[in-house]
Amino acid sequence: MKILVVGSGGREHAILWALQRTSARPLELLCAPGNAGIAEIARCVPIAATDVTALASLAEDERVDLTVVGGEAPLARGIVDEFTTRGLRIVGPAASAARLEASKVFAKEFMARHRVPTARFRVADSAEEAIAILRRGEFGGPEAPVVIKADGLAAGKGVVVARDRAEAERAVQELMVQRRLGAAAARVVIEEALEGREASVIFWTDGRAARLMPPARDHKRVGEGDTGPNTGGMGAVTGPDVLDPATRERVVRQTVEPTLEGLRAEGLEFRGVLYLGLVLTPEGPRVLEYNVRLGDPEAQAILVRLRSDLVAIFDAVAAGRLGETDVEWADGASACVVLAARGYPERVEMGAVIRGLKEAAEVSGVEIFHAGTERGPQGEWRTAGGRVLGVASAAPTLDQALARCYRAAERISWEGLHYRRDIGR
Ligand code: AMP
Ligand code: GLY
């Protein structure tokens, strides 16, 4: 069986690794465009993840049996529609359903239509309208925190949690007048700031059945103690402390089920992975965001616990047979610690020589996923991105998983390497 994975990060490396590790049948793995670490387990083809027509032609020429999409950009561009039109089997939502992630306005209005609990919100089409909404004080007085979100995709940079109205007004200026994110902030969502622990509930769905993955928690800020700018994610954990069974039941009933019912009611085709970013408030769970894919680095922490055949799961998702498929996980917990390059998430320094990969891989129970690496002229490993490596481990307890990750991380070095030592704390 020939499988193509679209993307080039740690998430895609983990998906390919898990496919190979869990599959009952021999696989031929392709990745577009991939990275140097991925090239150790899959044939990488230099086609950009967003070049939807070229990817469909690749799948046709190579007679790929199944394509799995890692990130949101190709989904928003309609990769699933293009593959489906050509009769190619693919896992992921159609572009119309990928709007759950690609447009915050669409997502919020969808949640409102289908009574999925979320933060109270307004939509503004101009800076004047946004400022007027803030000054009306619907989300609290001048001293109250309030959240401004760019409508479009912004690679994690589109959300400002403002401490007070002045900061919120500055965010509106930057987003809507100075256009820091371009057209992505032509509209914004303004919403109440919620407080509570966060958790990510990610599941496979074929539009009817859902199979939950272990709930995860990520660490978005670059610095220890949740300081510094937001990143794509500096680490993630799974385990019994992330979400207790009663809250998990409540999340399924109050957020997962109405979301799936809403998709069906609106005729939105969704055969893929849906990610609910939640905040657990005293009044119950609230959905902060939808993603239409696995998280990165949540995927790395989750997939090291997978026991079932991932090919069979993706196959069942694509075929609409997920209801007949069981998914099993290793008990316990897991973690992924991201090793980043100097300057990440702002001005990233690349090309540093990476040492100690082999020694780190010898730590038992650890997997090392490549997010941004390349091979130099002598075959040496070099950094080629902001997030460079993800060190992941599953173990009976979170402490054990973290200890393994950090033992391996300590063996790796390059000029400018940094990572958080408080993942899971
Ligand atoms: P999002 O991309 O919508 O998940 O937002 C990114 C991060 O901003 C979330 O993980 C939260 O930490 C924070 N955030 C988003 N919306 C809110 C909100 N309404 N109240 C408090 N924090 C929020
Ligand atoms: N780690 C957050 C995300 O993948 O969206």
Query: Which residue puts its alpha carbon closest to atom 4 of ligand 2?
Result: 295
**What's the gap in Å between 141 CA and the centre of ligand 2?**
31
Q: So what CATH class is 333-409?
A: alpha beta
Domain ranges of the chain: 2-94, 126-186, 197-324, 333-409
Is residue 117 in contact with ligand 1, taking CB distance under 6 Å? no
Name the CA radius of gyration of the chain, rounded: 21
- Which pLDDT belongs to residue 81? 98
- Which pLDDT belongs to residue 156? 75
- Which pLDDT belongs to residue 31? 98
Mean pLDDT by 10-residue block, N- to C-terminus, for the chain (425 residues)? Answer: 98 98 96 98 98 98 98 98 98 98 97 98 95 94 94 87 94 92 93 96 97 97 92 95 96 98 97 98 96 98 98 97 97 98 95 98 98 96 98 98 98 98 96
Q: State which ligand 1 atom lies nearest to the alpha carbon of 149.
A: 3
Is residue 150 in contact with ligand 1, taking CB distance under 6 Å? no
Copy the structure tokens of residue 396: 């009976």
Fold of 197-324: D-amino Acid Aminotransferase; Chain A, domain 1 (3.30.470)
Buried/exposed code over 83-93 (b: 16+ C-beta within 10 A; e: otherwise):
bbeeebbbbbb
- Which pLDDT belongs to residue 157? 81
What architecture (CATH level 2) is domain 2-94? 3-Layer(aba) Sandwich (3.40)
Provide residues with CB under 6 Å of ligand 2: 218, 232-233, 291, 295-296, 298
- Which pLDDT belongs to residue 201? 98
